[in-house]
Amino acid sequence: AQSVAQPEDQVNVAEGNPLTVKCTYSVSGNPYLFWYVQYPNRGLQFLLKYITGDNLVKGSYGFEAEFNKSQTSFHLKKPSALVSDSALYFCAVNGGGFKTIFGAGTRLFVKA
Amino acid sequence: DAGVTQSPTHLIKTRGQQVTLRCSPKSGHDTVSWYQQALGQGPQFIFQYYEEEERQRGNFPDRFSGHQFPNYSSELNVNALLLGDSALYLCASSPLQGDTGELFFGEGSRLTVL
pLDDT bin (cut points 50, 70, 90) of residue A24 is: very high
Of the candidates A24, A19, A108, A1, the residue with the CA atom closest to the CA atom of residue A73: A24
Cβ-Cβ contacts under 8 Å for A112 (sequence gap 6 or more): A15, A83
A25 touches chain B (CB under 8 A): no
CB contact under 8 A, A98 and B99: yes
DSSP summary character for residue B63: T
B105 touches chain A (CB under 8 A): yes
CB proximity under 8 Å: B 53-92 to A: 55-56, 58, 90, 92
Residue A91 has pLDDT above 90, yes or no: yes
CB contact under 8 A, B45 and A99: yes
CA distances for A79 relative to A25, A53, A64, B96, angstroms: 23, 22, 9, 35
CB pairs under 8 A between A and B: 58
| CA end-to-end distance (rounded Å), chain A | 41
pLDDT given for residue A29 in this prediction:
80
CB contact under 8 A, A43 and B90: yes
Residue B97 has pLDDT above 60, yes or no: no
CB contact under 8 A, B43 and A90: yes
pLDDT bin (cut points 50, 70, 90) of residue A1 is: confident
B94 sits in which H/E element:
strand B87-94
pLDDT given for residue B99 in this prediction:
54
The amino acid at residue A42 is: R
CB contact under 8 A, A104 and B42: yes
What average pLDDT score do residues A22-43 get? Answer: 91
Q: Are the C-beta atoms of residues B32 and B68 closer than 8 Å to each other?
A: yes
Angstroms from B80 CA to nearest CA on chain A: 26
